[in-house]
């Protein structure tokens, strides 16, 4: 989805509508810019709810990695987001709205396979429902045109870092807090 799609459709769900309202307010303010994030992941996130961290923690605790239904996301590593934010802090953007994303989709099942391979733990990957949920991805052409070349961290490298992080704190992960995802 491109930034100029805004206003074509008014979301009916509370989350989408709140984002719509925030974007509308941004339009009328001189010093507010709307950075639309798609699936940011990294240390310190809610591992109980966020897929990549949850998959890592489940595997480290000897549980299956679960997926309710497969979906494509445009995930962005937090360190890459920090580099992008640094640019926005130091510059005056030309536009009011930016999709801050990799511009590359990846599905949950592929991510689960990566987690399992990087951890080298023989856990099952269980998909609750066949088929696909609606894609949650963005077009980042505007961002790249203005910021310039961005070197996004490879999924394998960022997931490896995240696996190392959770290995070091696994004793703090309470497996009773795992949300049943199926």
- pLDDT at site 149: 85
The pTM of the full predicted model, rounded to 2 decimals, is 0.88
State which residues form the domain around 11. 3-177
What is the pLDDT at residue 7? 60
Residue (of 58, 73, 146, 60) closest to 103 by Cα position:
73
Longest alpha-carbon distance in the chain: 53
pLDDT at 180: 63
pLDDT averaged per 10 residues in sequence order, the chain, 182 residues:
64 78 80 91 94 97 95 97 96 94 96 98 95 94 94 97 98 85 56
Q: Is residue 170 part of a domain?
A: yes
Residue 182 covered by a domain = no
pLDDT at 134: 93
Within a domain: 7: yes
Overall domain count for the chain = 1
Report whether 173 contacts 60 (CB < 8 A). Answer: yes
Say which residue the tokens 């974007």 belong to. 23
Position 120 scores a pLDDT of 97
> Rounded to whole angstroms, how far apart are CA atoms 100 and 144?
9
In-domain check, residue 79: yes
Task: Give the CATH number for residue 84.
Answer: 3.40.50.720
């Amino acid at each position: 989805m491109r930034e100029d799609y805004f206003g074509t459709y008014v979301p009916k769900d509370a989350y989408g509508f709140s984002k719509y309202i925030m974007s509308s307010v941004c339009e009328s303010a001189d010093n507010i810019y709307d950075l639309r994030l798609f699936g940011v992941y990294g240390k310190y996130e809610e591992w109980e709810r966020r897929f990549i961290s949850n998959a890592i923690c489940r595997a480290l605790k000897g549980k299956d990695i679960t997926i309710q239904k497969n979906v494509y996301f445009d995930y962005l590593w937090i360190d890459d987001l920090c580099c992008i934010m640094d640019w926005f802090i130091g510059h005056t953007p030309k536009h009011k709205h930016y999709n801050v994303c990799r511009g590359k989709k990846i599905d949950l099942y592929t991510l689960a396979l990566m987690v399992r391979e990087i951890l080298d733990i023989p856990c099952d990957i269980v998909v609750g429902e066949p088929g696909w949920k609606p894609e949650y991805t963005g077009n980042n052409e505007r961002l790249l045109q203005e910021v310039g070349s961005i070197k996004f961290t490879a999924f394998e490298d960022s997931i490896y870092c995240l696996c190392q992080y959770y290995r070091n704190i696994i004793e703090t992960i309470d497996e009773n807090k795992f949300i049943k995802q199926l």
